[in-house]
Amino acid sequence: MAPSKEIFLAYQQAWINDKSKLKIWKKARQIGFSFCSTFRAVTDLVRHKTLWIALSGGQRQSNELAHKAREHVEAIAQIEQAARGYEFIEKEGTGAFVEGVEETQSIIHFPSNKSRMIFLPANPDTARGYTGNVLADEFASHKKAKEIYAAVYPSITRGYSMEIGSTCRGESGMFYELCEKENGFSKHCTTIYDAVAQGLDADIVKLREGCPDDDIWQSEFCCQFISDASSWITWDQIQAAESIFASIDLPEGFKSVGELFLGIDIGRKKDLTVVYLLEKALGVFWTRAIVRMRAVPFAMQRKRIDWFFEHLPIRRCCFDSTGIGMQMSEELQIKWGSYRVEPVTFTLAVKEDLAVRTRRNYEEGTIRIPDDRNLRGAIHAVRRIPTAAGNFRFDADRTELGHADEFWAQALALLAGDNGPVCVLTGVQASDKPTSYSQLKGF
């Protein structure tokens, strides 16, 4: 079945029509890779008895990819049956038979020719052991991408194909190597400018205005690999720390099982105020909530910060008391105790201590963060910059997204959790006061 020109844009048709056994697509975000790549796989499954293994960065992404494939299955089923009575619809009339297996994978099964498409969250163990075609979605975001590649590459030995697509990250990792080095891959590249020129309905001006961080724009939309050379924490380290079990929004009814630590980086007009909550369990710091406040009056900021102390057994909080943060840090100490609230004045030495501690946690694998583009950008934006006096300072470019505020709030939370003094929690226990985060968000 040839791709319809009414459905697919020129760059998508070029990908579908490329019959190379090895092909890779360096692309901007949201230009339709998943849509056209799953179409290519589903049409192949209809025509031949074969197997496709689809790998995504996590379970949520895997579910989304499976959903797109099922949409193609339903559409093709209707077309094929109407045109020539092609028999691969189940008696229930639900399209191709869809079978869920455990919680980590999903299968689309075609009973007529016994073809299958298996959707997996990518890791070296789940990807190993299959023989068939491989589709890797957002490959640059796969943890242990080199090990995954080593596990799945033998799958295509008997004449199968491998198709890889992703936006760019840093100048390292398996996706970077496959794109930039000489090898047998057929290479495609589509920036947001290319996609719009070929018919994608997107407003580049508005997209650019909403993405003032140049590194994010270049990597997410312009297919540029961003150098890790001057970044204090690399893309690989950030990616390794990402976990589906970390979160930005505190779950309803959250009850901690470990110790809770807060880091607060204060801002008012130019920069964000960020409240960063970590839970330390079994030696690992898990991100449980990130509250970002831009141009929020100090009284409202104070109300939101107080909420954490009122509802959670916060063991220790480190607060940015530099400049405008001095008064609020004093007020918090008075209300919640100097043993729980520690003011931190940013100096070159203090920022170096914070930065070194933070990177150590990334290197040792003792921090988990959610998959969040702005958080990722803030962490990667911090650089170690030499001064004229021969020393170093840690800083980031100021953009409309902030001044790496999430990084410094995270660093303060890690400081709070670094062998801090034991706090008497004055009767506040997680079991006594289950939280309602919507209460906080409704302020």
330 with 186, same domain?
Answer: no
Residue 3 maps to a domain: no
Using alpha carbons, select from 410, 393, 396 the residue that is nearest to residue 359: 410
Residue 349 maps to a domain: yes
CATH number of the domain to which 423 belongs: 3.30.420.240
Task: Look at residue 215 in the predicted model and tell me its pLDDT.
Answer: 75
277 with 372, same domain?
Answer: yes
Segment (H or E) for 402: none
Q: Pairing relation of β-strands 392-395 and 383-386?
A: antiparallel
Q: Give the C-alpha separation, 57 to 216, whole Å.
A: 19
Q: Which of 88-97, 247-256, 266-275, 346-355 has the lowest mean pLDDT?
A: 88-97
297 with 419, same domain?
Answer: yes
The terminus-to-terminus CA distance of the chain in angstroms comes to 54
Q: Yes or no: say if 43 and 234 are a contact pair by the CB < 8 Å rule.
A: no
Residue 231 maps to a domain: no
DSSP E strand stretches across 125-265? 133-137, 162-166, 186-190, 259-265
Residue 38 maps to a domain: yes
Residue 221 has pLDDT above 80, yes or no: yes
Q: What pLDDT, in 10s, does the model give residues 268-279?
A: 656 789 999 999
388 with 261, same domain?
Answer: yes
Dihedral of alpha carbons 76, 78, 80, 86, sign: positive
| Higher per-residue pLDDT: 270 or 245 | 245
Segment 415-437 shows an average pLDDT of 49
DSSP 96-129: SEEEEETTTEEEEEETTTTEEEEEEE--HHHHTT
Q: Please give the single-letter amino acid code of residue 318.
A: C
Segment 20-47 shows an average pLDDT of 93
Residue 220 has pLDDT above 70, yes or no: yes
Half-sphere exposure of 283 toward its Cβ, with a 13 Å CA cutoff? 3
33 with 180, same domain?
Answer: yes
Q: Give the C-alpha separation, 202 to 118, whole Å.
A: 32
Total structural domains within the chain: 2
Q: Give the C-alpha separation, 370 to 438, whole Å.
A: 19
Residue 164 maps to a domain: yes
148 with 264, same domain?
Answer: no
Tokens of 116: 């299958």
196 with 340, same domain?
Answer: no
Of the ranges 47-51, 82-86, 431-435, which is most confident? 47-51
Segment 172-190 shows an average pLDDT of 92
Tokens of 153: 């590459």
Segment 312-322 shows an average pLDDT of 94
Tokens of 424: 């008497």
248 with 196, same domain?
Answer: no
180 with 291, same domain?
Answer: no
Task: Look at residue 103 in the predicted model and tell me its pLDDT.
Answer: 34
Q: Yes or no: say if 179 and 41 are a contact pair by the CB < 8 Å rule.
A: no
- Left if phi > 0, otherwise alpha if psi is -120 to 50, otherwise beta: which for 374? alpha
Half-sphere exposure of 26 toward its Cβ, with a 13 Å CA cutoff? 21
155 with 259, same domain?
Answer: no
Half-sphere exposure of 86 toward its Cβ, with a 13 Å CA cutoff? 19
Sorted by sequence, the CB contacts under 8 Å of residue 383 that are 6+ apart come out as 230, 231, 232, 394, 395, 396
Residue 238 maps to a domain: no
Q: Give the C-alpha separation, 47 to 153, whole Å.
A: 24
Using alpha carbons, select from 39, 40, 6 the residue that is nearest to residue 20: 40
Residue 165 has pLDDT above 90, yes or no: yes
Under the banding of pLDDT at 50, 70 and 90, the label for residue 373 is confident
Residue 224 maps to a domain: no
Average pLDDT, the chain: 83
161 with 90, same domain?
Answer: yes
Task: Look at residue 217 in the predicted model and tell me its pLDDT.
Answer: 87
Strand 115-121: give its sheet, edge to edge.
Answer: 97-101, 105-110, 115-121, 51-56, 133-137, 162-166, 22-27, 186-190
CATH number of the domain to which 102 belongs: 3.40.50.300
Domain around 56: 10-214
Residue 222 maps to a domain: no
| Higher per-residue pLDDT: 172 or 97 | 172
Place of tokens 């399209």: 95
177 with 248, same domain?
Answer: no
